[in-house]
Amino acid sequence: MAKKKRELTPAAVVTGAGQGIGRGIVLALTSEGFDVAGIDILFEPRNRKKGLIEVKEKVEELGRRFLPIAGDVARLEDHDRMLDEAVEEFGRIDVLVNNAGVAPAKRADILETAPESYDRLLSINARGPFFLTQNAAKRMAGQKPRRDGIRPSIVFITSISAAVSSTSRVEYCVSKAALSMTATVFADALAARGIGVYEVRPGIIATDMTAAVKDKYDRLIAGGLVPQGRWGLPEDIGRAVAALVRGDFAFSTGAVIEVSGGMNIRRL
């Protein structure tokens, strides 16, 4: 009697995987039994202390596989190559996490916002993820359903800035608001194809991106800005993503999960 063919391990693609929130998401998915293809614009094979190679070694310590992929989500011409590499390595794509994003190189008053900064943030934070999702969703829709209960899903990492104004970085707010609506329309369009789509909105998270404003937010958090009284951590976001992709919210496509320590609470 011929042996049954073993089902492939579930595989995820995570953009911006080399550090910060992306790293936290990768490690959370690894703990859930996923192999992961991690994409990042920075790929330094000799750097084992920080970046994709450090993440790869950490994942392998946990007994899973990690494929580091150099790529820029803003470059649409990179998308086929990046996803092809993931499929070649793992056989399929079960999850896409759109995490890669940037802040303005320099904060400026809204009346001084430069077109170059606006275009850069919209290209990386909104346009790139839209077309990467379009590409990945076509592949997911053509795959055979898994027998282990894991269904294809896509997660967009946006920000509380999708709905909260910051007049010194308006282009960031606009890009995250655009990404939030991108999550909504893909959730609507892909529901009938069996692909769940979710949005995770981080609050103030301790990463390299926020290191430059640490003192400011230390004071604000101490003053009560965050009801739960602390900085968020990359692993807080990772746990939320893991819950979504393992199916804990299988009947909630289009859901927005805010991970902000209670900043979503309207208070007097």
Cα separation, 23 vs 41, whole angstroms: 14
| Burial class of 140 by CB neighbour count within 10 A (0 to 12, 13 to 18, 19+) | buried
pLDDT at 34: 98
pLDDT reading at 191 higher than 80: yes
pLDDT reading at 197 higher than 80: yes
For range 88-92, the mean pLDDT: 98
Where does the pLDDT of residue 268 fall: very low under 50, low under 70, confident under 90, or very high at 90 and above? confident
pLDDT at 48: 86
In one letter, which amino acid is 262? Answer: G
Q: What is the CATH number of domain 11-140+149-259?
A: 3.40.50.720
Mean pLDDT of the chain: 96
pLDDT reading at 203 higher than 90: yes
11-59: pLDDT as tens digits: 999 999 999 999 999 999 999 999 999 999 988 888 888 999 999 999 9
| pLDDT above 90 coverage of the chain, percent | 93
Question: What ranges do the domains of the chain cover?
Answer: 11-140+149-259
pLDDT reading at 259 higher than 80: yes
Residues 6+ apart with CB under 8 A from 237: 21, 24, 25, 157, 200, 202, 205, 259
C-beta of residue 13 within 8 angstroms of C-beta of residue 83: yes
